Chain A
Amino acid sequence: MRSTVSSCGLQLAARVACLLLLTLAGAVSVSLPAKALIELDITQGNIEPLPIALPDFGASGSDPKLASDMIAVITADLKRSGLFKPLDPASFIQKNMDVNTTPRFGDWRTIGAQALVSGTVSKQADGRLRAEFRLWDVFASEQMLGQQFFTTPENWRRLAHIISDAIYERLTGEKGYFDTRIVFIDESGPKDKRVKKLAIMDQDGANVRYLTRGDDLVLTPRFSPTSQEITYMSYSGADPSVYLLNIETGQREIVGNFPGMTFAPRFSPDGQSVVMSLQQGGNANIFKMDLRSRQTTRLTNTAAIDTSPSYAPDGSKIVFESDRGGSQQLYVMDANGGNAQRISFGPGRYSTPVWSPRGDLIAFTKMHQGRFMIGVMKPDGKGERILTEGYHNEGPAWAPNGRVLVFFRDTPGANGGPQVWTVDLTGYNEQRVSTPAFGSDPSWSPLIN
């Protein structure tokens, strides 16, 4: 057993006790038939989910309540991804799995499991939580992954998400996105008297926390890619303006000193700048503010509405929407503002572009004939695909691994309201994210650890 990783993000050190991660290597010896390991190809749409057995982390002196709570979170994570089919525990033949014993693979093959997770979780004498798990390839009769964690008990939910991420990454080859959070706008009250609050939750809808009280209208929060900060728009001052909020300290500041409404903010990939629109008379143009030097730079200068800027992950380009050609369309320009090229040419209007963290795609809202769609296209405008379509879908944001999009879906009429949904990049596996009231303008955090 060797210590490999301390998954303690610097920026989180103040809030979250360090999670100590150890790799379990060779603690269980298994004789291996030479067989290919499980591979989950997730590049195609509508794949057959992988059958996975997730028995209770029950054995070896586990805390029974904690064990079943944790496996429930892991099971829900993997199921919601659409890539895994957790098997019914009632079908399990081998009971009381011990994390330190080789599973009876035949028993798991019989019920159709391809992957198997065994684990244990307990409270130690020093008060810390100790959890370990192993991921098994049932057909190869082989351990794929083994890890051990120590953390504080209140971190149990995060720990479950970290284990989900490890399983997801080992089986798909892609980074997970379960140990993440979503910032969004909580909406309550009737449609013509909506109260909007800034709120944050785990990506599965747990642990909702309110960051504003609802006194002022707040809109479009966006996560920093590098720190525990969000940028958003608030009506708390004389002009509606873009603000920064540190979600750990609660410290808030206005971004820049602009003569008019600023809106549609987003961080640069290095987290050091905020790009946004400034309203000047009937026109909106795009500006950048360097958060360290406080210097502001104008990036567009048109008699049009230029808004919703979003950087490419390498920081070299910005995609935005503009009606300079007569209707809302998507444009890509250099990060310093030059060389804008229109990239959207389909029927309808295009809005709210957002560049994938992988760089390969741009997601957007598309409006056509009274329908509101979420779609993706390549940065050159080719390969447009609509992922979901209906009365009103708006405002996509990417999961940090660039495989899943979160957006909001509104429903019509006096009693209608927005809800937060996710959809896979392939257009399959739409899932609603449960929120306490109506929810809109979701934005995904980077991976926390």
Chain B
Amino acid sequence: MVGVSEMARGVKMFAAVAMVMVLAACAQTKPELAGGGAGGNVTPGTGQDFVVNVGDRIYFEEDQSTLTSQARATLDKQVQWLNRYSQYTVTVEGHADERGTRQYNLALGARRGNAARDYLVAQGVSASRIKTISYGKERPVAVCNDDSCWSQNRRAVTVLNNATN
């Protein structure tokens, strides 16, 4: 278990790089690693490849769990990638922003994770490869006090459980 959670953390660091490219707005998110441009030096089939070239996360509107067209586009790319690299299982983490109460946000995060999971399954990823977990508002990635941060925290992140790099 320890190995898995450390790996998840590593994947999240790459995710930070990806996010800077997508959302140049948030000053709080610093690029911690040079990702090699748009996947220039990224080895295909790695965790880094998944985060940088596919996109490991989708975002939600306030208090919503319906998938936006942008979210579906990201999930479509995840489906393609996961079908190509079938050695991976994933955990979809559902999250909420901090502008809600704790218990409700646990359920809202679960609803978001579940929406992403259901979409992946409907598009052909085996349900046995996907686990979900909700962190509610407990794991924000952006900490400023306006919607530029809250919108980054309303997310579902597909984490590779057994990625090597």
Contact = CB atoms under 8 A, between A and B. Distances in A.
Interface in A308-350: 308, 321, 323, 327-328
Given A192-B140, A219-B136, A410-B98, 20 more contacts: A190-B143, A194-B138, A196-B138, A219-B138, A220-B102, A240-B134, A261-B106, A264-B103, A279-B106, A279-B107, A281-B118, A283-B111, A305-B104, A305-B108, A307-B107, A308-B103, A351-B100, A351-B103, A392-B98, A395-B102
A414 interface: yes
Interface of B: 28, 63, 65, 98-104, 106-108, 110-111, 114-115, 118, 133-136, 138-145
A405 interface: no
A394 B82 CA distance: 40
A263 B143 contact: no
A282 B140 contact: no
B103 A239 contact: no
A416 B143 CA distance: 9
Contacts of B145: 412-413, 416
Nearest to B112: A282
Contact of A261 (B110, B138, B143): B110
Contacts, number: 92
Size bin of chain A's contact surface: 35 or more
A284 B102 contact: no
A395 B137 CA distance: 14
Given A192-B139, A194-B138, A240-B134, A279 B110 contact: yes
Given A240-B133, A261-B110, A413-B143, A370 B99 contact: yes
Contacts of B111: 282-283, 305
A53 interface: no
Given A413-B144, A413-B145, A261 B101 contact: no
Contact of B110 (A192, A284, A351): A284
Given A240-B134, A263-B103, A282 B143 contact: no
Nearest to B103: A264
A395 B140 contact: no
B99 A277 contact: no
17 contacts: A191-B140, A192-B140, A219-B102, A219-B106, A220-B103, A239-B133, A277-B103, A277-B107, A279-B106, A279-B107, A281-B114, A321-B103, A365-B101, A367-B100, A395-B102, A410-B98, A413-B145
Q: By CB atoms of chain A within 10 A, which of B63, B99, B100, B141 has the most?
A: B100
Nearest to B114: A282
Interface in A361-402: 365, 367, 370, 392, 394-395
Of A194, A261, A327, A441, the most chain B CB neighbours within 10 A belong to A261
Contacts of B141: 192
A40 interface: no
Contacts of A192: 139-143
A378 to B, nearest CB: 21
A441 B102 contact: yes
Given A192-B141, A414-B28, A282 B100 contact: no
Nearest to A323: B104
A320 to B, nearest CB: 10
A264 B143 CA distance: 25
A217 interface: yes
A283 B107 CA distance: 7
